[in-house]
Structure 1
Amino acid sequence: MDSSSFRSDGFYHTGDIVRLREDGYLVVEGRDKDQINRGGEKVSAEEVEDHLITHPSVQDAALVAIPDSFLGEKSCAFILLAVDTDMESNGTKPLETALRQHLQTRGLAHYKIPDAFRVLDEFPTTAVGKISRKALRQALAKTVTNNASIGDA
């Protein structure tokens, strides 16, 4: 842990978003960085990921935000393909189209559908074995210039 993990009053900053109920209990609503603010609309990374992994071509998914000069943030879904998925014959664009249609069919709001998709062989992980969203955002930021759209990168 580095010093940025602690607030000025000495408390550990977990990144959890919580709500205090009237009876004094806290309810964990989500994670600070697992929520994308796309043009003022809040997108839960976990919700979109849960829908993506129901597609037969998707083994696992991670949704991350990337800064956008117009919307504030856009989203990119990183995908691990299911073992039997043949990218040679399918290609990335048909997969993106199929995933977008799948999300629409499941009733996901238009603004929650990822702006871009990237297929990976494996996810970068943290020291404790969790998906490193920070590493995914950094890798994506390297491919996106200030003038290019996230979908074009």
Structure 2
Amino acid sequence: MSTFDAETADNLEDIEKQFAVKAVTQAETYWGLLEKIPGSKLKLTKHDDAIFEQLLEDFPEFKEPANVAEISEAAMKSVSGKAKWRTFCEKFKDIEDYNFGTLLRTKCDDFYTQEGAIFAVRIQFYAIEICRNRYGLNDWISRNIRASA
């Protein structure tokens, strides 16, 4: 019996498409929630408090709202950024699908767009969006929808 080795596995186009569809569906669902409920009143998981506290401990720069308002993909995916995020993510491996791919907006004051979203793992999405929500940075979305109605 052989074991699966992710490092040498082929990337099958159909599997990649299924992951992409799931990531887009998750982004659309989240955006729909933000349109209806101010982010500051939204709870994403039963682990929100622990995720938020650990994020601020591991990434003290996120104590400043401006530093979570805009995320640098280059910094996040640099060698040192990857190492720091990997350590953070592994602390939440008990959360279902914590490492599943998802889309993350790079700027909290922008929509999901091809240029304005990056691929991240779910726990990174949770951490950054929980932080943004707690700082009220996503509240504009529901206000804009109500104002235009």
Same fold (TM over 0.5): no
Return the TM-score normalized by structure 1: 0.27
- The structure with more strand, counted as a fraction of residues: 1
- The structure with more helix, counted as a fraction of residues: 2
* Bigger-Rg structure (1/2): 1
Larger RCO of the pair (alpha carbons < 8 Å, separation 6+): 2
